[in-house]
Amino acid sequence: MAHLAMRNGADGEASANTLTVDRLLSAPLSKLLAEVNAEIVDTSVTDESFFGQVVKPRTGTALLCMPTGRSAFERDTVARILVGKLVGAPMRPVPPSLDVRTYGGTK
């Protein structure tokens, strides 16, 4: 099973946004990241089943932590899934083999 994780710095889900699924899938990734105040950072995780994680602090830039050594297509696809989850875009569920979890923030 593949793993994606999302950690919010505030209680509950990431705040909703008006980002449409069409825009999420077609806009240049760099523009999407700027629009949602996020950036991709490399992680040293080497587990084949780990695809990425979002760390969203209470304030500031959200970090899409992604392993190196993956294809450009894979990184682009996973980044778009993570951005969609980050902003609460109305996406179809990801395949069951891709485990997406959201961890709440501080209490």
CA distance 83 to 29: 10
- Confidence band for 16, pLDDT divided at 50, 70 and 90: very low
pTM here is: 0.76
CA angle 85–86–91, rounded 5-degree value = 25
Does residue 93 surpass a pLDDT of 80? no
Determine how many CB atoms are found less than 10 A away from the CB of residue 82: 26
**pLDDT at residue 6, as a whole number:** 52
CA angle 86–88–92, rounded 5-degree value = 110
Of 34, 79, 23, the C-alpha closest to 61 is: 34
Please, what is the average pLDDT of the chain? Answer: 79
- Confidence band for 4, pLDDT divided at 50, 70 and 90: low
SS3 content of the chain, % helix, strand, coil (to 5): 25, 30, 45
CA distance 15 to 85: 10
**pLDDT at residue 34, as a whole number:** 93
- Confidence band for 74, pLDDT divided at 50, 70 and 90: very high
**pLDDT at residue 89, as a whole number:** 82
**pLDDT at residue 103, as a whole number:** 65
